[in-house]
Amino acid sequence: MEKRCNVCGEVKLLEEFYRSAGMRDGHRNDCKTCNLAASAKRHRQNPEPARERARRWNRDNPERRLAYQRTRRQLPEVKARQRDGHLRRKFKLTTEQYEAMLAAQDGVCAVCGRMPKLGKSLHVDHDHETGAVRGLVCFSCNSALGNLHEDESRISALLNYLITHDPEQVELAEMTQRRLAALAS
């Protein structure tokens, strides 16, 4: 069955008209295309009623809104956009630059050489004073750097602590010190 649109004058199939119980044939007199164009024009001229309706719905349906947001955040395209925005804001890096750094590191942590866990990405390590990006590190190495406050003396002290409490490492350290002493004399 067909119907003529009162706005554009075109004859279209009935499914190209929105349903309306008050109409004789059960469909609006304007086609979907014309109806959407008129709706968009009204919105451009006065967007406030639509905004208020959205605010009221959000206020009246907090659980549904949160459920929608949780679901939406899991979409791959949304995750990618959020990741891209985070990299740009925090490190002034594009996703392409991040991927290039990852490829240059063969996809592994710059410190320990381990692959990140499945579904996880490497963290961007940067100098907190200058903001300069140093490389990509795993969660464990990033946490260690943060807990040691990126302080070289603390890192050396921790290394010395580990060496002195590991019999194999003590032997290696003593042998290295003897060799260094022999070279110095």
CATH of the domain at 6: 3.30.60
Question: What is the predicted pLDDT for the residue at 165?
Answer: 80
Q: Stretch 60-69: mean pLDDT, rounded?
A: 97
Task: Give the pLDDT band (50/70/90) at residue 56.
Answer: very high
Q: Do residues 97 and 145 both lie within one domain? A: yes
Q: What angle do CA 90, 95, 99 make, to 5 degrees?
A: 115
Statement: residue 167 has pLDDT above 80: no
Which of 15-29, 95-109, 160-174 has the least mean pLDDT?
160-174
Q: Do residues 35 and 96 both lie within one domain? A: no
Q: How far apart are CA 79 and CA 74, in angstroms?
A: 6
Q: Do residues 26 and 82 both lie within one domain? A: no
| Averaged pLDDT of the chain | 91
Q: Do residues 160 and 115 both lie within one domain? A: no
Q: Do residues 129 and 100 both lie within one domain? A: yes
Q: How far apart are CA 28 and CA 159, in angstroms?
A: 78
Number of domains composing the chain:
3
Q: Do residues 120 and 171 both lie within one domain? A: no
Dihedrals φ, ψ of 26, to 5°? 85, 10
* The one-letter amino acid at 60: D
Residue 102, in any domain of the structure: yes
Distances (CA, A) of 150 to 22, 130, 142: 72, 13, 10
Statement: residue 137 has pLDDT above 90: yes
Q: Do residues 140 and 160 both lie within one domain? A: no
CATH of the domain at 82: 3.40.1800.10
Q: How far apart are CA 45 and CA 42, in angstroms?
A: 5
Q: Which helix (H) or strand (E) holds 135?
A: strand 133-137
Residue 55, in any domain of the structure: no
Residue 50, in any domain of the structure: no
Per residue in 74-114, pLDDT (tens digit) is 999 999 999 999 999 999 999 999 999 999 999 999 998 99
Dihedrals φ, ψ of 17, to 5°? -125, 140
Q: Do residues 110 and 159 both lie within one domain? A: no
Task: Give the pLDDT band (50/70/90) at residue 184.
Answer: low
Q: Do residues 85 and 124 both lie within one domain? A: yes
Question: What is the predicted pLDDT for the residue at 31?
Answer: 97
Residue 146, in any domain of the structure: yes
Q: Do residues 124 and 91 both lie within one domain? A: yes
Residue 16, in any domain of the structure: yes
For the record, the structure tokens of 119 come out as 């579904």
Q: What angle do CA 29, 35, 37 make, to 5 degrees?
A: 145
Residue 64, in any domain of the structure: no
Question: What is the predicted pLDDT for the residue at 156?
Answer: 81
Residue 100, in any domain of the structure: yes
Q: Do residues 85 and 140 both lie within one domain? A: yes
Domain that holds residue 172: 155-184
- Report the DSSP beta bridge partners of residue 138: none
Task: Give the pLDDT band (50/70/90) at residue 60.
Answer: very high
Distances (CA, A) of 94 to 90, 110, 126, 135: 11, 19, 15, 14
